Amino acid sequence: MKLQIDSFRGIPMEKNMSSLVKRMSVLLLLLVFIVPASPCSAMQTLNAKGILDRVDDLFRGKSSKGIMTMKIVTAHWTRTLKVEWWSEGKDKSLMRILRPKKEEGTATLRVGNDIWNYLPKVNRVIKLPSSMMSASWMGSHFTNDDLVKESRMAEDYTFELTFRGKRDGREILEVTCLPKPDAPVVWGKVMVAVRPVDYLPLKILYYDEDMSLARTMYFSHIGPLGNRILPRVMRIVPADKPEEMTEITYEQMTFDLDLPAEVFSIRSLRR
Amino acid sequence: MILRLAWRSLWRNKRRTVITVCSIALGLTFAIFFIALAEGAYEQMIEQMVRIQSGHITLEHPEYRQAPSVDLWITVPPQLRSEVEKWPDVEETKLVILGQGIVKSGAGNMAAAIMGVEPSVEKASSPVARNLITGKYLEASDKSQVVVGSEMAERLKLAVGKKLVIATNDVTGTLVEELCRVKGIFRTGSEEIDAYFIQMPIDFARRLFHLPREGATQMGVILKDPGAQKRIMKRIKDRLDDRPISVLSWQEVMPDVATYIKMDKGSNLIFQAILIFLILFTIFNTLSMSVLERQREFAMLLAVGTTARRLRLQVFAETVFLGVIGCVAGLFFGGLAVVYGHVYGINLSAIMGESVNISGFALSSRMYTKLSFGIFFGSAVTVLTATLLLGLIPVRRATRISIVDTLR
Amino acid sequence: MITVAAISLNVAILIASYGLMDGMVKHLVSNVTNMVTGEVQIHAPGYLVDHSMYKVVKDPTGIMERLGSRGIHGSARSYGYGLIASGNKSAGALFWGVDPDMEKKYFDLADHVETGRYLSSIPKKEIVVGRKLARSLNARIGSEVVLVVQAADGSLGNDLFTVRGILKAAGDRIDRNAAIMHRQDFQELFVSGGRIHEIALNTRGAVPLAALEQIATAAAPGTDVKSWRQLMPSLSDMVNFFDAGMWLFGMIFFLAAALGVMNTMLMSTFERIREFGILKALGTSPWRILGDVAAESFVLSLVSTIIGGIIGVGLSLFFMHKGLDTSIFVPGDAAVSVSGIAFDPVWRATVSVKTILSPILMMCFISLIASLYPAAIAARLDPIKAMTRV
């Protein structure tokens, strides 16, 4: 058979950090945003779809910037990166490495379906082939693809509040999300545990189709971030390699600022 | 008169005649069988490859060959397609859509070559369809089902019924994603195919890539008689008028295979030449020796007054008889062998193992001979002509003997 | 004598044909194995499943020394995946870290360069790429390329390299993915600390495959040792297919040659029936006649087949060195790659005991039998009839 695949072939598959993780986390962060720290009773009267729609609309057109520390632990090495980022809407983002010094200035720009990398050591900008979408970003458990996916949560899942009470010594609300039959998501089920008092997420569990746990996302260190209260630490742990993880700590974040268009250009990539 | 003499003289020395006739007959049998076998093997290989790909003739977008991409598609009017299918030399036509994307499951993701096919057509010819290890092959009515290779299934932990998300760029370049389920898993034995190919019903592919209803990447035409290729290509080109569709032969679509076959055929021709040389040499030898043997006989004939010319004619006539009988016998036995080889094939599994995987398709260990009037006719004519020509040499020598010396 | 000439010729042609047939198959294999794969490869257990760069061969130097002392040599290689970019084009690639001197000595890929040249012995951040990869990057000799990889310590390895060579067709995998550099450059880029992922051994046919596998397994305990047949099942299958085809062809040729020999012997012996008749009339016993004929034809057969053998060997040797260039049947560029395997258009014969001895022995045998039959007839014939046979 004459293959027409480009040279991506031969690259081993990387663990895919589902876009859902990112989407869900953003969704929930914003959930918190629109429902200010107030008594929980309002939650039960709103239906799940209503919440999602509101979140979708609120999320659109928003921008953000910030600084985070990413700690990656794999079976063979451990790394800590300090990354600065800017993002606008759902298809523009720029990320730049601040630490370690060896990689300072390395940046990734995503606009639409295209991704560029700037490499300060050789002072070159390269455009990634579309096949690299699934490759992991900087060796973490996130992939380039995560930066690109469009969010369609309202279309992809049905939500239902399934548990209210104490678990592991904490009061939580648990929402079970099941993918709609035709939704292009790989999961069989997603379970979200939130704080009843302000609906900040504590844990998200991702199950594959066989209902076995594929990965877990933990949220902690709730505190002020920009003009909101959010969990400042997120950790992803793959279920089949529990010794590995990627942990993001948000140090600073600013929301809804005006970002000039040049921010998401190749020129600014090089800066 | 001469003919009768010639005939009788042949039967006077049965042993010699039989040996000579046998040489010619057997020689021809071997030649026919060898050529039929070699040609048959090539045809088998080509037929298999052609059916898996897009047929003996491929119709595609003019720019597709340079830079294959799903957005270079063609629309073949259905009337044209059904007309072509009715032509006597055409066996069938098929449409395929070819694209690339990423395939994701809960266990990870990998690159994939996406093939939208027409299940009714592919079922019979595709190695994918014929090598399913679990599940079932596609049906046209399947909405979002796919079949994947065993390697891909292993790496992505897929099983029949499991979910799969395909992410790719549609014809406008927009990223699209679709959920599908695994209907079957195949193992062709070719690592490339088993790890990268996924097949889906062509309508699903159209939905995925946002192609219009009659759109496809290629239309393939499979012929009943590969020899009709050029003729059918021309007919199709005429039918297409000025439409921007390229009509390519399989040699243009798979140039590497075409080149390889040419080279291999070249070496095969060399073998054929050697074999024919061997056979003709044997025939020549036999004829010469038989003439030499009969020196006394000739000397006596000349002594009693037969003219040299008559003698020569007689001997030549004998050669003609020998040649014709030999060739007829050779055609008979050679034909028998070829027909057997054509219908039952020659089972080489003792040497080769059960089947062989080349480039993703299993070549069975039966080699089939080609049944062709041309091979029979050509070989027979060659051998007969050569026999007659070669026979002339000893004929001349026959009459150049010294009567006295010989009869002493 | 015509008889001798005829038999010799038949034998000679048969031998030369077998040589060519055998050569076709053997060269198919050696073309591929000599290029890069070698006859046997050594990897860490499990490496071939996921190509994880952390699965390394332990003590590669020790292994190579042990093998070297037994006259078996090869090349140690490191591999890693990454991105190669030129201008605004980029592609995924498999990077090789090799020792250019070892590669040049024991494998043919270093000579298989279409434009430019192979790597120099000194690390100079040079890279040699497969031809399809070069094309997809629009890269030429002297082009600058950016390499980006995930280094062994997790950091982002990147550097600028120069394209020094573009390979000829060497099989799909290499054409599309291969980017070869000096092992020291590899070490620097990947922070790999001299890790070796593969030891490929090549004796160019000097050591039989099974023996080679055994020796390698003994010299490299705890590793995964595989022969080319296991590493390239496609090629292995193709070889079996060809073997079968050649066997069939060989049979036909054998029959044709046997026919020739038998014919010649039959006729020449029958020719002498008058002679036998006279002998019989003179009182020689039939057994004696038979015996004489047998002895004579034995000598005749032997001599003819040996002469034929010598000529045949000569022809085979000629074709072994010169070879027939089948690319004359193909107009244009004869770079052929089928099923991921590149084909060399030059067709050479091989000379081996198998291709020489068995034709000689078989033909000798046949010619002997062929002579005994008419002799037996003569021995039983009425002498008058025999003498007057015309």
pLDDT digits (tens, 9 = 90+) for B177-193: 889 999 999 987 666 77
Give the Cα separation of C90 and A125 in Å (integer): 11
Question: Which tokens is B214 given?
Answer: 């009659």
Query: Measured between beta carbons, which residues in chain A are less than 8 angstroms from residue C152?
Result: 76-77
Place of tokens 């250019």: C100
Sequence-ordered list of residues with C-beta below 8 angstroms from that of A27, at least 6 positions apart, any chain:
A52, A55, A59, A151, A153
pLDDT, position B358: 55
- Whether C10 and B267 lie within 8 Å, measured CB to CB: no
A39 prior amide bond cis, ω within 30: no
Chain C residues 23-42 with CB within 8 Å of chain B: 24
Find the chain C residues whose C-beta atoms sit closer than 8 A to any C-beta of A: 50-52, 54, 81, 83, 85, 88-94, 132-133, 136, 146, 148, 150, 152-156, 158-160, 172-173, 176-177
Query: Measured between beta carbons, which residues in chain C are less than 8 angstroms from residue A78?
Result: 154
Give the Cα separation of C127 and C164 in Å (integer): 6
Q: Quote the distance between the C-alpha of residue C131 and its chain's center.
A: 24
Residue B402 to chain C, least CA–CA distance (Å) = 17
Strand B132-135 to strand C144-150: parallel, antiparallel, or no bridges (unpaired)? unpaired
Question: Which tokens is B393 given?
Answer: 């040499």
Least-confidence region, from B97-101, B154-158, C130-134, C353-357:
C353-357
Q: Does the beta carbon of A84 lie under 8 angstroms from any beta carbon of chain B?
A: no
- Whether A4 and B100 lie within 8 Å, measured CB to CB: yes
Q: Does the beta carbon of B68 lie under 8 angstroms from any beta carbon of chain A?
A: yes
Query: Measured between beta carbons, which residues in chain B are less than 8 angstroms from residue A185?
Result: 165, 179
Torsion of CA A246, A252, A255, A259, to 10 degrees: -100
| pLDDT cut 70: percent of chain C above it | 89
- Whether B111 and A4 lie within 8 Å, measured CB to CB: no
* pLDDT at residue A46 greater than cutoff 80: no
pLDDT digits (tens, 9 = 90+) for A96-119: 999 898 889 999 888 877 888 999
Residue B375 to chain C, least CA–CA distance (Å) = 17
Q: In the beta sheet, which residues pair with residue A234?
A: A219, A248
Q: Does the beta carbon of A10 lie under 8 angstroms from any beta carbon of chain B?
A: no
Question: Which tokens is A7 given?
Answer: 């040279």
Chain A residues 123-152 with CB within 8 Å of chain B: 130-131, 133-134, 143, 145, 148, 150
N- to C-terminal Cα separation, chain B: 30
Query: Is the distance from CB of B279 to CB of B31 less than 8 angstroms?
Result: yes
Sort residue B353 into left (φ over 0), alpha (ψ -120 to 50) or beta.
Answer: left
pLDDT, position B402: 66
Helix (H) or strand (E) holding A93: strand A92-99
Question: Which tokens is C197 given?
Answer: 């992922």
Question: Which tokens is B336 given?
Answer: 């028998």
* Dihedral angle sign, alpha carbons of residues B287, B293, B299, B301: negative
pLDDT, position C159: 94
Neighbors of chain C by Cβ distance (3+ pairs < 8 Å)? A, B
pLDDT, position A23: 39
Query: Is the distance from CB of B312 to CB of B393 less than 8 angstroms?
Result: no
The complex scores an ipTM of 0.74
Note the pTM of the prediction, 2 decimals: 0.76
pLDDT, position C381: 67
Look at B387 and C350; give whichever has higher pLDDT: B387
| B-interface mutation test, from C89, C132, C234, most B Cβ less than 10 A away | C234
* pLDDT at residue C350 greater than cutoff 80: no
DSSP state of A128: P
pLDDT digits (tens, 9 = 90+) for C241-300: 777 777 777 888 888 878 777 777 777 777 777 777 777 777 777 777 777 777 777 787
Q: Does the beta carbon of B175 lie under 8 angstroms from any beta carbon of chain A?
A: yes
- Half-sphere exposure of residue B65, counting CA atoms within 13 Å on the CB side? 15
pLDDT digits (tens, 9 = 90+) for B109-121: 788 889 999 998 8
DSSP state of A177: E
Tell me the three state secondary structure of residue B234. Answer: helix
Q: Does the beta carbon of B407 lie under 8 angstroms from any beta carbon of chain C?
A: no
Query: Measured between beta carbons, which residues in chain B are less than 8 angstroms from residue A148?
Result: 175
Query: Is the distance from CB of A15 to CB of A238 less than 8 angstroms?
Result: yes
Q: Does the beta carbon of A21 lie under 8 angstroms from any beta carbon of chain B?
A: no
Q: How many CB atoms lie within 10 A of CB C24?
A: 22
Q: How confident is the model at residue C98 (pLDDT cuts 50, 70, 90)?
A: very high
pLDDT, position B408: 60
Question: Which tokens is A256 given?
Answer: 């809804």
Strand A78-88 to strand A92-99: parallel, antiparallel, or no bridges (unpaired)? antiparallel
- Whether A134 and B107 lie within 8 Å, measured CB to CB: no
- Whether B358 and C241 lie within 8 Å, measured CB to CB: yes
Q: Does the beta carbon of B62 lie under 8 angstroms from any beta carbon of chain A?
A: no
> Residue C240's closest chain B neighbor by CA?
B352
Question: Which tokens is C140 given?
Answer: 């030429």
DSSP state of A132: G
pLDDT, position A268: 84
Give the Cα separation of C23 and B119 in Å (integer): 43
CA angle C185, C118, C170 (to 5 degrees): 105
Helical spans, DSSP H, in C191-285: 209-219, 228-231, 233-271, 273-281
- Whether C91 and A103 lie within 8 Å, measured CB to CB: no
Give the Cα separation of B256 and B263 in Å (integer): 11
Give the burial string for A154-193 (b: 16+ CB within 10 Å, else e).
Answer: bebbebeeeeeeeeeeeebbbbbbebeeebbbbbbbbbbb
> Residue B173's closest chain A neighbor by CA?
A113
pLDDT, position C67: 93
DSSP secondary structure, B259-285, as one string: HHHHHHHHHHHHHHHHHHHHHHHHHHH
Query: Is the distance from CB of A254 to CB of A226 less than 8 angstroms?
Result: yes
Q: Does the beta carbon of C299 lie under 8 angstroms from any beta carbon of chain B?
A: no
Give the burial string for B370-402 (b: 16+ CB within 10 Å, else e).
Answer: bbbeebbeebbebbbebbbebbeebbeebbebe
Nearest to B190 among C2, C24, C234 (CB): C234
> Residue A1's closest chain C neighbor by CA?
C339
Distances (CA, A) of A23 to A52, A56, A234: 12, 11, 13
Nearest to C243 among B289, B346, B351 (CB): B351
CA nearest to C53, candidates C95, C90, C84, C85: C95
- At C103, which amino acid appears? E
pLDDT, position C63: 93
Query: Measured between beta carbons, which residues in chain A are less than 8 angstroms from residue B52?
Result: 1
- Whether A124 and C85 lie within 8 Å, measured CB to CB: yes
Place of tokens 């012996």: C269
Average pLDDT over residues C329-351: 62
| pLDDT cut 90: percent of chain A above it | 13
pLDDT, position B285: 80
Give the Cα separation of C121 and C164 in Å (integer): 13
Look at B280 and C179; give whichever has higher pLDDT: C179
Please provide the average confidence, as pLDDT, over all residues in chain C: 83
Residues of chain B scoring pLDDT < 70: 189-191, 348-367, 398, 401-408
Tell me the three state secondary structure of residue C22. Answer: helix
Give the Cα separation of B108 and B156 in Å (integer): 6
pLDDT, position B401: 66
pLDDT, position B224: 85
Nearest to A12 among C81, C160, C177 (CB): C81
Sequence-ordered list of residues with C-beta below 8 angstroms from that of C303, at least 6 positions apart, any chain:
C4
Give the Cα separation of C282 and B394 in Å (integer): 34
Least-confidence region, from A94-98, A259-263, C231-235:
C231-235
pLDDT digits (tens, 9 = 90+) for A58-104: 334 478 888 999 999 998 899 999 999 888 877 788 889 998 988 89
> Residue C266's closest chain B neighbor by CA?
B19
Residue B266 to chain C, least CA–CA distance (Å) = 6
Question: Which tokens is C105 given?
Answer: 């000595």
* pLDDT at residue A5 greater than cutoff 70: no
Query: Measured between beta carbons, which residues in chain A are less than 8 angstroms from residue B98?
Result: 4
* pLDDT at residue A149 greater than cutoff 70: no
Neighbors of chain B by Cβ distance (3+ pairs < 8 Å)? A, C
pLDDT, position C125: 95
Look at A47 and B121; give whichever has higher pLDDT: B121
| B-interface mutation test, from A137, A209, A210, most B Cβ less than 10 A away | A209
**Rounded to the nearest 5°, which phi and psi values hold at C342?**
-85, 140
Q: How confident is the model at residue C126 (pLDDT cuts 50, 70, 90)?
A: very high
**Rounded to the nearest 5°, which phi and psi values hold at C96?**
-110, 135
> Residue A183's closest chain B neighbor by CA?
B179
Nearest to C90 among A78, A128, A138 (CB): A128
Give the Cα separation of C285 and C299 in Å (integer): 21
Give the Cα separation of C120 and A95 in Å (integer): 39
Give the Cα separation of C238 and C36 in Å (integer): 18
- Whether C154 and A74 lie within 8 Å, measured CB to CB: yes
pLDDT, position C94: 92
Q: Does the beta carbon of A2 lie under 8 angstroms from any beta carbon of chain C?
A: no
Q: Does the beta carbon of C353 lie under 8 angstroms from any beta carbon of chain B?
A: no
Q: Does the beta carbon of A269 lie under 8 angstroms from any beta carbon of chain C?
A: no
| B-interface mutation test, from A1, A131, A157, most B Cβ less than 10 A away | A1
- Whether A186 and B106 lie within 8 Å, measured CB to CB: yes
pLDDT, position A34: 35
DSSP state of B361: E
Query: Measured between beta carbons, which residues in chain A are less than 8 angstroms from residue B166?
Result: 184
Query: Measured between beta carbons, which residues in chain C are less than 8 angstroms from residue A6?
Result: 91-92, 136
Torsion of CA C32, C38, C43, C49, to 10 degrees: 10
Nearest to A184 among B177, B254, B360 (CB): B177
Q: Does the beta carbon of A18 lie under 8 angstroms from any beta carbon of chain C?
A: no
Give the Cα separation of A20 and A188 in Å (integer): 12
| pLDDT cut 90: percent of chain C above it | 34
Query: Is the distance from CB of A63 to CB of A93 less than 8 angstroms?
Result: no
Residue A117 to chain C, least CA–CA distance (Å) = 10
Q: Does the beta carbon of B16 lie under 8 angstroms from any beta carbon of chain C?
A: yes
pLDDT, position A15: 33
